[in-house]
Homo-oligomer: A and B are copies of this chain.
Amino acid sequence: MKSPQRKPTISDVAREAQLALSTVSNALAGKRYVREETRAHVLAVAERLGYQASRVAQALRTGRSGAVGLLVADVSNPSMTDTVKGAETVLAKAGLMTLLCNTGGSEERQLDYMEMLLSRNVDGMILISQHVGPAVRKLLETVPHVLVQRRLPDGADYYVGSESRGAIESVLQHLTSLGHRRIAFVKGPVESSSASDRLAAFIDETRRRAIDVPADYIVAGDYSMQSGRSAAEKLLVLKNRPTAIVCTSDLTALGVLEYSEEAGLQVPDDLSVTGFDDISVVGLRRVGLTTVQQPRAEMGKKAAEVLAKLIEGKPVRQKNFELETRLVVRSTTGPAR
C-alpha cells in the first residue's frame, strides 16, 4: 500500500517493473539500447503508476531547466502583450516554460530578476525592450539570449526588431503627399534603440525631403499615453504650430489625440496624427488612427524560435531580424489646411 500523497518516483517504477533504475531512465528517455519489450513494459508501468518525471531533479542533474526567462517592462502594455503571447506560445511548443518577469522598466528590478533566473538555471532569456547596460550584459554572457526592440549598437547579440526606417519613411511620404510641411515628432524613451532608430530616420527623411524641422518640433516621450498628452500640450502652444504630429507609439498618439480634442482641435482638419504599433483598438472606426503596423506577435515568435534553436545548440547564422512594418491609413490624417 503506497501512501496516496507521495508522487511516484523513478524508483517506484523500477521496483514495480523489476528493473534497474537506469534501465527505466533509459527506456523513458528513449535513448540507448533498450529492448522494445522492456521499454513497452516500463512505459506501461509508468503509465499505471501515473509517473511523471520530476523536472526539478532533471534540471539539477542535467543543468538544463527547460525554462526560459521572459523580461518585459510592462505586460499590461498593449504594445508588448502580443509579443509576450507570441513568445510564450512558441516556447511552449518547444517544450520550454516561460518565467514571466515584469520589470516595470527599472534596471534594478531587471537585474534582480536576471539573477533569480540564473539561480534557477534558465536555459535562456528573452529581453523585450529591456536595459542593456554593462551590468546586464555581464549577466547575459552566461546564457543564450535574444533581445527584442532594444539592442546595443555593436550588434553582438541576437536581435529581433521591426524595420524603423521604412516605417518612418512611409509615414512622411503619406503626410507630405497630403501637403504637410510642418511636422512634429514625439520621441520614445531615450534608452530604447528602436526609439533612436525612429528619431534618426525622421531626421534623415525630413532632411531628404527638404522639410525644415525646428528644434521645438521634436519633443520627449516615453511611448505612454501621458507623454502624448504632454507632448501635445507643448506643441500646440507653439507660434508656428505643426499641422501633423508623428508619434512613435499608438498610446502616445492616443494621448495626443485626447489632449488636442480637449483643446478644441478637429482631427484631421486642424491636425493630423500618426501612431506606431497598430494595437487592436486603434483600428476601430471610433478611433481610426493612422499608424504603422508592427508585427508584434511575430516578433515574439521569432525571438522564441531563435532562442529555442540556440538552446538546442543549433546554429543561427543571422543575428539581426528586422521584421517588416506597414502603414495603415485611417482617419486621423488628412490634408494640411
Residues of chain A whose beta carbon lies under 8 Å from any beta carbon of chain B: 52-57, 59-60, 65, 67, 70, 74-76, 78, 81-82, 84-85, 88-89, 92, 97-102, 113, 115-116, 118-121, 225, 254, 257-258, 261-262, 280-281, 284-287, 297
Contacts and interface: CB of A to CB of B under 8 A. Distances in A.
| Chain A binding surface, main DSSP class | helix
Contacts of A285: 258, 261-262
A270 to B, nearest CB: 15
Nearest to A65: B56
A113 B96 CA distance: 11
B76 A84 contact: yes
Contacts of A55: 116, 119-121
5 contacts: A55-B120, A56-B59, A57-B60, A98-B99, A254-B284
Given A74-B85, A82-B76, A92 B97 contact: no
A128 B286 CA distance: 30
Contact of A75 (B59, B84, B99, B113): B84
A78 B80 CA distance: 11
Nearest to A91: B100
Contacts of A225: 280
A101 B75 CA distance: 14
